[in-house]
Chain A
Amino acid sequence: MTRDVTRRPLIGLMVPAAVAVLFIALPLIGLLVHVDWGNLPSQLVSGNVLTALRLSLECSIIAVAVSLVIGVPLAYLLARASIPGRRVIRGLVTLPLVLPPVVGGIALQTALGRTTPIGTVLDHFGIVLPFSTAGAAIAEAFVGFPFLVITVEAGLRQRDDHFEEVAATLGARPWRRFWRVTLPLAAPSIAAGAALCWARALGEFGATITFAGSFPGTTETLPVAAYTSFEGSGQIGMAITLSLLLLAISVLVLVVLRDRWLGALR
């Protein structure tokens, strides 16, 4: 009986809670209401949208690949090794999570722009990052990378490390233990981290447009295209179509990760 009593909702809390739900739901409903469903198929397969979609996938996959290659080792070291200044490093790595992306873009510009010391060296090898697809991917990696590191590190910490100890007592050398024991056990968190990193990279806008600019096929990713349609040419219909596409991808990510996020709360 006590259970029923505590489960009964407080009316006083229901009103602000309903406002909260509406607060999130209304803009999304507004978006759906304003979608030009009749022209949607033709807009979705129009050259601009397909170009932006292909570029977005390309950049975000590169961003995830870069994040995996450098992020998993970092997460492992943060979780397992006793490295000096670990807390400072962790703080630094998580900074892009809270940093306004446009600041990230300006920072990238000042570090990797064409006339900066690094940029000059790269230019020597024919690599110019601003206004290039590689630059857009780097901007996306910058903001997406922390999601991977944090998720993988948390995954590695949650598990005790006795499997590695067993492997060690059986004579497995450190690299073999990493590849055959640690990585497979961390696979779920690596997958989740990669998905989060990918979703963030795909939606990245501020750092991309600031560092890489905006040009169809080179740097104009889906969010950038949505913004230019809305602000530049006033094609609100196209902006809404692009927004719907991004919304659909976000929902897809949520569905794929539902067990990880929503499952824990059940």
Chain B
Amino acid sequence: MKIGAVTPLLAGTVGIALASCGSSPSGGPSGSPDPFNGSITVFAASSLTSAFNTAEKGLELDHPGFTAQYSYGSSQALVTELVSGAPADVMVTANTSTMQQLVAKGLVDTPQALCRNELEIIVAPGNPKNIKTLADLATPGLAVVLAAPGVPVGDYAAKALAAASIKLTPKSLQLDDALMVEQVESGNADAALVFVTDVVAAGSKVVGIPIPDAQNVIGTYEIAVLKTSTNMAAARAFVTSALSGAVQTQLLADGFLKAS
């Protein structure tokens, strides 16, 4: 499985090759029909948008009979939709507690850790308010936005602030990481606490201020197949491919950390 150095394009093919012959979730020995057949719907935390869109495009190229539809959103919102009966085959959450709600309801197979993510402070380019540490966020008069409670990145931010005994009143509690980036970029907010991957995705629009490991909160993303999947073979093959090769390489490129 040492394919980390392979270029993403090649890794796509290698990863898929590994996925389709590495394990045989559909029960057949090697030479069995390609599990990547038909279409599946993947519900994923919005921070995975870039990684999945980039890496998984290769799947559809390599398997002409296969299509994946992605629905990105806040993990909690996606859980709410699934509990209400939204049809999906694979679910990826940005924390373990939202996935746990699906486990408790018996809606998913045993989840697996996909990757990890940590927090970073974002400020406008040039850091006009000279924010250097987590504690600086409590500076009076500073407009800070956080994600709402229940949204994974919001829960992590609350945990990090509480652990550092930093009390601050955010200006707004957002449901969406991209919106926090927009608010800092537009200057309506001075700073926000987001995932480090949001900073990578934002490019030069905002500047990230790293938070030391001792103060940071590292969250685990989980992936699982829905028990109600109508294309179980493809769903399982998709999960296997996401845990290996190309997708993992892309996740690291996007700023995620390895699952363990």
Give A contacts to B, CB under 8 Å. 109, 113-115, 128, 130-131, 212-216, 218-220, 227-228, 230-236
Contacts and interface: CB of A to CB of B under 8 A. Distances in A.
Q: Is the contact region of chain A dominated by helix, strand, or loop, or is it mixed?
A: loop
Interface residues of B, number: 25
Contacts of A113: 186-188
Given A213-B174, A232-B74, 9 more contacts: A115-B188, A131-B171, A213-B173, A214-B174, A216-B173, A220-B173, A231-B80, A231-B175, A233-B149
A232 B189 CA distance: 20
- Which interface residue of A115, A230, A232 has the most chain B CB atoms within 10 A? A232
Contact of B171 (A213, A227, A233): A213
A233 B150 contact: yes
Contacts, number: 76
B76 to A, nearest CB: 5
A231 B173 contact: no
A232 B151 contact: yes
B172 A228 contact: no
A215 B173 contact: yes
B172 A234 contact: no
Sorted from nearest, which 8 A-B pairs have the closest CB atoms? A213-B172, A233-B150, A115-B187, A131-B171, A232-B148, A130-B188, A231-B77, A232-B150
A223 B76 CA distance: 18
A214 B171 CA distance: 8
Interface in B171-230: 171-175, 183, 186-189
Nearest to A213: B172
Nearest to B145: A213
Contacts of B98: 234
Nearest to A231: B77
Nearest to A132: B171
A219 B174 CA distance: 12
A8 B188 CA distance: 62
